[in-house]
Amino acid sequence: MKDKRLLLYIALAAMLALLPVATMRVLWPYFLWQNEPLHSTVETVGALAAILMAVVLLQRRPDEGGGRLFWVAMGLLGAGILDGFHATAQPGHQFVLLHSTAALAGGFGFALVWLPESLRYASIRKWVPWAVIAGSVLFGLWTLLFRETLPVMVQDGRFTTTAMALNLLSGVFFVAAAGRFLLDFHHSIKAEPYLFSCMALLFGLASLTFTYSALWDDVWWFWHAVRLSAYLLVMGVVVHGYLQTASSRKRAEERIAHLTLVLKAVRNVNQLITREEDRECLIQKSCELLVEGRGYENAWILLLDENKSLVTAASAGLGEYASIFLEQIKTVGYPPCLRELLAQEKPFIAYDEPGKSHQGCVLAGQHSSQGVFRCRLEYQGKFYGALGVTVPSVAASSVIVYDEEEQGLFLELCGDIAFALANIERKEEYKQAEEALYHSEERFRQLSDASFEGIAITEQGKILDGNHTLAGMLRCDLPELIGKSILEFTAPAYHDLLRQVVASGYDKPYELECVRRDGSTFAAEICGKAITYNGRTARIAAVRDISERKRAEEALNRQEERYRNTLDAMIEGCQIIGYDWRYLYVNDAIARQGRYPKENLLGHTMMEMYPGIENTEVFARLQQCMKKRTPQRMENEFTFPDGAKGWFELCGPPGSEGISLPSLDIPERQQAEAKAREKQDLREVDRLRTQLLANVSHELRTPLTSIKGFVSTLLRPDIQWSAEEQRDFLHTIDQESDRLTRLISDLLDMSRLEAGALKLDRTDYSIVEILDSIGSVLAKLTEHHQLKLAVPPDLPPVLVDILRIGQVLTNLVENAARHSADGTEIIIEARLDGGQVVVSVTDRGVGIPAEHLDRVFDRFYQVENVVAGRKSGTGLGLSICHGILEAHSGKIWVESKLGEGSKFSFTLPVSKGGEEIAQDSGS
């Protein structure tokens, strides 16, 4: 197609050249070239063509081949001007000379294509064409005006040697130039060098043929025809070249405009990525910048993760296609154009040529007929996603977009964005790492602050860091500590130790005295260890305030000393014997008793110290205590090897390490105890005697007071008592006399009992009979109470003195009534228990305090809690009861609870006849 167009151009050029000459020839046939009209026309056309071509070639820029063809243009310019002169000249010397010089100038110019690039001086280009024009014109005028001076060029219709030499030279030049052009053509396979080669060859052929021709002969016309065809070729090339240059210039301008836009967009993107830190903003803004100045029609960026699944997307210029595109990815998957891209492992750039099918890819949006660039976004081997752009229609229509510059720019763009993405990622990672670091540091600090130990990080004795606990210990703020020497916070006496410890890297705990900021001191335990801290070798030390512990230790020591001294001062021996029979502790008394110094005993077993001890009772009991680990109580005698006797008392629960075994020398113990007991007894006897006397006196005097008083009252001479009063007084006297009688009989009973002189008149009686015998007395005693009897009828008879047992019951009931409130119950019950009849009297009275229970049967012992307004007894009743029951081989006891009442019980022996019944009932 291009070839056809070239032929058309040549034809057009031929017409352009021939038309003016033909027109002038018709209009002014005889004005010019009157001599040889055909020849003149041919030469004129050739000259015009050559000048025209020279002008066209000079218009070319160096990058369009202007550099290489400058000298060709110069040659054509010179040749054209000289040929013009040649066309006007009369055949003759000047005629041939002009032609020959024209051919030579042309050939020379053509041959200069052999000059290396470096010798084509750009600076002389401006004036060389003018010089050539001037030179050629001057030379033409000279040949026309001064014919005579010209060398002989033609002789007898034949050309001279000079003429032939000139033409031969030019022919050689032309052929050489043709070779050069042919070489160029060989390298570039472009049309232009080929045409120039042809042209030069034709000119060369014409020049060489000149030497065989004569004026106006056939050969002469032949090489003219050759030259003409060469000129025509020149014309064609000129026209073609001109048109070509114009369109390529326009394309280049468009392309530059496009590239400028793209470049600008790239620059904007570059600016953006230096400051943008958010990934989504970055890709969105990048897309917008790329389409902003119509650098690209649209742009899109997809960010994908390692599995190639979509993370986020941004686009600009896609319009409604953006959402369609995303929808397609979600529902159908990636379009083929993207799949192709993602399938690649290495950076990959894809380009869809304008107008080609996009296989359903909507990435080009409405510009689906335009070129689309796509590329993987990768930085240092890490894949981030893909970038795609659609090239503007202007550029796409007239420029081959898929060239190096365009592709380079796009790749650069991809690289920049990928770099920015990598940067953001790195920043995020860094931030995360920093945050994690901060958190972990914070955590560590909190942890260390929460610790009860002070923590210090030191380097060569300087504090680098510490926790708040440490600051609190030293009573200052943490920042105050930093940078200080640890010696500032320790007592001078410990400085040497501290230096030694730090220098040797000692890592066991040690104690020293710390000095607080306010000068006060405290004992501390330090444990240090070498660590790497921020890349430096430091020492971390835990500081513990042990002043409390020290105090406690001292207190403990003091206490222990106190106990030790106390124990050593005791007469009683104290020893702790371990479960392996070794003496764990002995006091001075033990050493004294055991006839061994303390030191000999401690750590040795009992068997070592006292051979044969295994066979003693003490040892057996100890063994039992150790085995069972149960507390045992015993008193035992132990004879030491030298005959001395020890009295052991083992008591208390066995401890964790052994059993404690107090001991006392018998003589010491017995003497002490007997003395104490005697003294106590004497004092008690004396006290009781005095008490007895006082009580007897008081008890006797009280009824006497009433008796004597009322008698003297009745005898008062000054008062005349009424009969009623007199009777009342006498009744009282009678009452008090009875009381006195009873008291005296009680005292007599008492003394009889004490002397063992109580005579019993024992006969078989049933309990019911006994109760019946004292029925009226009981009724009177309990007139304000509810007396209840619970006596089973089948009880066996008892062998008793009915009067005495009646006295016991009366006494008990009287006591019960005296010590309980009116209306409460008094219960008499009897039961069979183990061959004996147990009779008990229960009241709901005030009860007897526990501390008095074992003394209520003593003589005159009275518990002073008689119910208000009630007569107190003689204090002998229970004592007499006790004596009477003792005489009956029975016993009496009391159970009582304060506030709830008392229960007095006694046993009576069953009569011999009743034993069988007792047996039966008992079984």
Amino acid, single-letter form, for residue 238? V
Residue 353 binding another protein, by CB under 8 A: no
Q: Which CB sits closer to another protein, 357 or 712? A: 712
* Stretch of residues binding another protein (CB under 8 A), selected from 33-41, 454-462, 718-726, 760-768: 718-726
Residues 287-306 that bind another protein (CB under 8 A): none
Report the C-alpha gap between 842 and 815 in whole angstroms: 10
**Residue 859 main-chain phi, psi, to 5 deg:** -65, 140
Q: How far is the CB of 762 from another protein (least distance, A)?
A: 38
Written as six digits, the tokens of 755 are: 């002397």
CA angle 166, 172, 173 (to 5 degrees): 90
Residue 23 binding another protein, by CB under 8 A: no
Q: Which CB sits closer to another protein, 43 or 736? A: 736
The mark string for 720-759 relative to another protein (x by CB under 8 A, - otherwise) is: -x---x--xx--x--xx-----------------------
Residue 655, sorted as left (phi over 0), alpha (psi -120 to 50) or beta, turns out to be: beta
Report the C-alpha gap between 907 and 73 in whole angstroms: 167
Q: Which CB sits closer to another protein, 555 or 694? A: 694
Residues in the chain: 923
- Residue 536 carries which DSSP code? E
Residue 419 binding another protein, by CB under 8 A: no
* Stretch of residues binding another protein (CB under 8 A), selected from 147-155, 401-409, 551-559, 694-702: 694-702
Sign of CA pseudo-dihedral 60, 64, 65, 67 = positive
Distant-in-sequence, close-in-space partners of 608: CB < 8 Å, separation ≥ 6: none
Binding residue for another protein, selected from 704, 760, 787, 803, defined by CB under 8 A: 704
Binding residue for another protein, selected from 693, 744, 748, 779, defined by CB under 8 A: 693
Q: Which CB sits closer to another protein, 757 or 868? A: 868
Burial (0-12, 13-18, 19+ Cβ within 10 Å), 751: exposed
Q: Which residues of 306-345 are buried (b: 16+ CB within 10 A; e: fewer)?
A: eeeeeeebbbbbbeebbeebbebbeeeebbebbeebeeee
Residue 705 binding another protein, by CB under 8 A: yes
Amino acid, single-letter form, for residue 221? W
Binding residue for another protein, selected from 196, 242, 494, 710, defined by CB under 8 A: 710
CA-wise closest residue to 887 among 897, 895, 898, 879: 879
Report the C-alpha gap between 783 and 767 in whole angstroms: 22
Binding residue for another protein, selected from 312, 559, 872, 919, defined by CB under 8 A: 872
CA-wise closest residue to 832 among 794, 863, 858: 794
> Could you tell me if 651 and 630 are in contact, meaning their C-beta atoms sit under 8 angstroms apart?
no
Q: Which CB sits closer to another protein, 711 or 850? A: 711
Q: Which CB sits closer to another protein, 571 or 694? A: 694
Amino acid, single-letter form, for residue 469? T
Binding residue for another protein, selected from 706, 811, 842, 905, defined by CB under 8 A: 706
> How many residues form the binding site for another protein (CB under 8 A)?
30
* Stretch of residues binding another protein (CB under 8 A), selected from 211-219, 381-389, 860-868, 884-892: 860-868
The mark string for 63-82 relative to another protein (x by CB under 8 A, - otherwise) is: --------------------
Q: How far is the CB of 819 from another protein (least distance, A)?
A: 12
Q: Which CB sits closer to another protein, 465 or 736? A: 736
Q: How far is the CB of 704 from another protein (least distance, A)?
A: 5
Binding residue for another protein, selected from 345, 452, 864, 923, defined by CB under 8 A: 864
Q: Which CB sits closer to another protein, 442 or 725? A: 725
* Stretch of residues binding another protein (CB under 8 A), selected from 199-207, 227-235, 608-616, 866-874: 866-874
Q: Which CB sits closer to another protein, 187 or 871? A: 871
Q: Which CB sits closer to another protein, 463 or 696? A: 696
Bridge partners of 530, per DSSP, are 539
> Could you tell me if 580 and 587 are in contact, meaning their C-beta atoms sit under 8 angstroms apart?
no
Q: How far is the CB of 776 from another protein (least distance, A)?
A: 23
DSSP string for residues in 214-245? -TTSHHHHHHHHHHHHHHHHHHHHHHHHHHHH
Q: Strand 786-790 relative to strand 825-833: parallel, antiparallel, unpaired?
A: parallel
Q: How far is the CB of 902 from another protein (least distance, A)?
A: 17
Distant-in-sequence, close-in-space partners of 778: CB < 8 Å, separation ≥ 6: 771, 787, 809, 810, 813
Q: How far is the CB of 839 from another protein (least distance, A)?
A: 29
Q: How far is the CB of 619 from another protein (least distance, A)?
A: 58
Q: How far is the CB of 795 from another protein (least distance, A)?
A: 38
Q: Which CB sits closer to another protein, 366 or 737? A: 737
CA-wise closest residue to 414 among 262, 526, 620: 262
Q: Which CB sits closer to another protein, 147 or 742? A: 742
Sign of CA pseudo-dihedral 37, 39, 43, 48 = positive
Q: Which CB sits closer to another protein, 411 or 866? A: 866
Bridge partners of 375, per DSSP, are 349, 387
Residue 868 binding another protein, by CB under 8 A: yes
Binding residue for another protein, selected from 694, 744, 789, 850, defined by CB under 8 A: 694
Binding residue for another protein, selected from 250, 475, 595, 698, defined by CB under 8 A: 698
The 3-state DSSP class for residue 385 equals: strand
Residue 664 binding another protein, by CB under 8 A: no
Give strand ranges (E) for 431-574: 454-459, 462-466, 510-515, 521-533, 536-545
Residues 86-145 that bind another protein (CB under 8 A): none
Residues 249-268 that bind another protein (CB under 8 A): none
Q: Which CB sits closer to another protein, 150 or 866? A: 866
Sign of CA pseudo-dihedral 463, 469, 471, 474 = negative
Q: How far is the CB of 722 from another protein (least distance, A)?
A: 11
Sign of CA pseudo-dihedral 729, 730, 733, 738 = negative
**Residue 362 main-chain phi, psi, to 5 deg:** -100, 10
Q: How far is the CB of 854 from another protein (least distance, A)?
A: 22
Residue 896, sorted as left (phi over 0), alpha (psi -120 to 50) or beta, turns out to be: beta
Distant-in-sequence, close-in-space partners of 573: CB < 8 Å, separation ≥ 6: 586, 587, 589, 590, 592, 593, 594, 646, 662, 663, 664
Residue 451 binding another protein, by CB under 8 A: no
CA-wise closest residue to 317 among 348, 352, 342, 287: 287
Q: Which CB sits closer to another protein, 143 or 706? A: 706
Binding residue for another protein, selected from 701, 727, 897, 912, defined by CB under 8 A: 701
* Stretch of residues binding another protein (CB under 8 A), selected from 228-236, 602-610, 652-660, 719-727: 719-727
* Stretch of residues binding another protein (CB under 8 A), selected from 24-32, 363-371, 601-609, 706-714: 706-714
Q: How far is the CB of 851 from another protein (least distance, A)?
A: 18
**Interface residue list for another protein (CB under 8 A):** 693-694, 697-698, 701-702, 704-710, 712-713, 716, 718-719, 721, 725, 728-729, 732, 735-736, 864, 866, 868-869, 872
